[in-house]
């Protein structure tokens, strides 16, 4: 910005008096309402006014050891994605404008070439989350007909979101086949009839069935005839990361011939909240034209971050370094030990052996061994220390274990570890 622009914006800021009066009025009105409702407790109106000025969405240092922490915003963005968001937010952009022709464009086209390049699909679109992508695909391809689903895949994910209820909203009729632990190809063959619209395969991302189990591979499902929608969940595009070998591969489902493959942008893909839908062109076009597509469309800032994230996957080695989720997964013992040692030295804590998790409904059985730092809770106790750290700016969130507060270095960068250490020391003064 030019000096004139900066000065203009500075002059536009509200005066201290005006801002203070607005906050004071809001706080007093709220207190009057409480008193009229019978409140008798004493409150610190100045402290409440200060809290009113504090943004509700705040920076958190994730020291929990859960890499894709659903409650802490899931995947942290790469520097490239952060820069793309800032660039897009700084002014107008060509969200739905074709710069080549000067005519109206489509936001669906902005990441389609990257999606087809990276997955091998004929077409692709992005919406605002994976649940929306599944809902859109089922509504566009199966409404008014039957949808066949294995009983073992009638899953519930966070927030009480259940596959059977999604199918109702999509206007399709559920046909359950198989049992909780075993579904065979013959179960699908017997269920297919004149009213069959689609076969839905839903990856049980946040749990695993072990022991006497059987399911049907995506290749076999795609040979049955009806269009297959394959929800692979976490969006593992990094084929060269050994820890992700148990996650269903997007490219495998596309190559098998699935009509639509859906996955998240903000889990193992390492990008912003987004739902991605790739597959055969006629299926993706049907989704693109469906009325729900507008209701679940993705916004410009998420698109900017998603494009930058996907572009990193053109160079797998660079993606593994640049994307925080992949870097955390592959952090080596020496790196974690050094970070834990810094945390312990600066906080007075002690280094212990611990276990981190992937989180975000991905790889629920995978345990990532490594160090953590156990903090001395002090006279006030561990709950008081945790609460004080959560009240900091930024907040520090660790995890409780055996009556101690642990800070896990796997989910902190070197800079964040030093930052967290300073906040711990400040909380103890």
Give how far the C-alpha of residue 297 lies from the chain's centroid of Cα atoms, to the nearest Å.
Answer: 16
| Residue linked to tokens 């250490």 | 421
Rg of the chain over Cα atoms, rounded to whole angstroms, equals 25
On whether residue 52 sits in a domain, the answer given is: no
On whether residue 55 sits in a domain, the answer given is: no
The DSSP letter of residue 71 is G
Residues 313, 340 within the same domain: no
Residues 318, 336 within the same domain: no
pLDDT for 16 equals 53
**Reported pTM:** 0.89
Residues 214, 284 within the same domain: yes
Residues 23, 65 within the same domain: no
Residue 52 has pLDDT above 80, yes or no: no
Question: How many of the other CB atoms lie within 10 Å of CB of 50?
Answer: 12
Residues 217, 255 within the same domain: yes
Taking all residues of the chain, what is their mean pLDDT, rounded to a whole number? 90
Residues 270, 334 within the same domain: no
Residues in the chain: 429
Domain holding 147, by residue range, is 79-322
Residues 421, 317 within the same domain: no
What six digits make up the tokens of 351?
A: 């280094």
Q: Which one of 52-56, 241-245, 316-320 scores highest in mean pLDDT?
A: 316-320
Lowest mean pLDDT among 46-60, 133-147, 251-265: 46-60
Residues 308, 417 within the same domain: no
Read off the pLDDT of residues 363-405 as tens digits, 9 standing for 90 and up: 777 889 999 999 988 878 899 999 999 999 999 999 999 889 9
What six digits make up the tokens of 422?
A: 């300073």
Read off the pLDDT of residues 243-262 as tens digits, 9 standing for 90 and up: 887 788 899 999 999 999 99
CATH number at residue 335: 3.90.1150.180
The DSSP letter of residue 411 is G
Average pLDDT, integer, range 95-113: 95
The DSSP letter of residue 78 is P
| Residue linked to tokens 């859109």 | 136
- Contact (CB, 8 A) for 343 and 417: yes
Residues 235, 264 within the same domain: yes
Return the closest-CA partner of residue 69 out of 356, 345, 291, 304: 356
On whether residue 51 sits in a domain, the answer given is: no
**Count of domains in the chain?**
3
**What whole-number distance in Å separates Cα of residue 285 and Cα of residue 299?**
20
On whether residue 177 sits in a domain, the answer given is: yes
**What whole-number distance in Å separates Cα of residue 171 and Cα of residue 174?**
10
Residues 290, 385 within the same domain: no
Q: How confident is the model at residue 58 (pLDDT cuts 50, 70, 90)?
A: very high
């Amino acid at each position: 910005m030019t000096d004139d622009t900066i000065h203009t914006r500075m002059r536009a800021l509200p005066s201290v008096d005006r801002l203070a009066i607005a906050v004071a009025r809001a706080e007093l009105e709220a207190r009057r309402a409480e008193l009229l409702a019978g409140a008798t407790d004493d409150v610190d109106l100045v402290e409440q006014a200060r809290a009113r000025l504090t943004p509700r969405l705040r920076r958190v240092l994730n020291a929990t050891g859960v890499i894709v922490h659903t409650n802490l915003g899931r995947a942290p963005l790469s520097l490239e994605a952060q820069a793309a968001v800032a660039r897009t937010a700084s002014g107008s952009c060509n969200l739905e404008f074709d710069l080549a022709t000067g005519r109206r464009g489509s936001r669906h086209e902005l990441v389609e070439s990257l999606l087809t390049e990276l997955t091998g699909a004929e077409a692709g679109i992005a919406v605002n989350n994976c649940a929306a992508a599944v809902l859109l695909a089922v509504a566009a391809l199966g409404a008014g007909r039957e949808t066949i689903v294995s009983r073992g895949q009638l899953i519930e994910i966070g927030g009480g979101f259940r596959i059977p209820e999604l199918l109702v909203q999509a206007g399709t009729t559920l046909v359950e086949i198989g049992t909780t632990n075993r579904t065979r190809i013959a179960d699908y063959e017997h269920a297919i009839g004149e009213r069959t619209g689609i076969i839905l395969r839903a990856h049980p991302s946040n749990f695993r069935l072990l022991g006497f189990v059987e399911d049907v591979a995506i290749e076999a499902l795609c040979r049955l005839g009806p269009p297959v929608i394959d929800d692979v969940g976490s969006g593992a595009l990094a084929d060269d990361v050994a820890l992700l070998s148990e996650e269903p591969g997007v490219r495998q489902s596309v190559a098998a011939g699935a009509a639509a493959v859906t996955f998240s942008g903000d889990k193992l893909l390492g990008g912003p909240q987004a739902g991605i839908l790739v597959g055969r062109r006629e299926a993706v076009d049907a989704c693109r034209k469906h009325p729900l597509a507008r209701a679940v469309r993705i916004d410009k800032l998420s698109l900017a971050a998603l494009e930058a994230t996907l572009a990193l996957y053109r160079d797998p080695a660079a993606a593994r370094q640049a994307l925080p989720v992949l870097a955390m997964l592959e952090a080596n013992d020496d790196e974690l030990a050094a970070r834990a040692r810094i945390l312990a030295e600066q906080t007075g804590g002690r280094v212990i052996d611990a276990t981190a998790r992937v989180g975000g409904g991905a790889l629920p059985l995978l345990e990532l061994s490594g160090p953590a730092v156990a903090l001395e809770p002090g006279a006030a106790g561990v709950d008081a220390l945790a609460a004080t750290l959560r009240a900091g700016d930024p907040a520090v969130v660790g995890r409780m274990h055996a009556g101690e507060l642990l800070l896990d270095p796997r989910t902190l960068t070197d800079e964040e570890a030093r930052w967290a250490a300073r906040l711990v020391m400040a909380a103890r003064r």
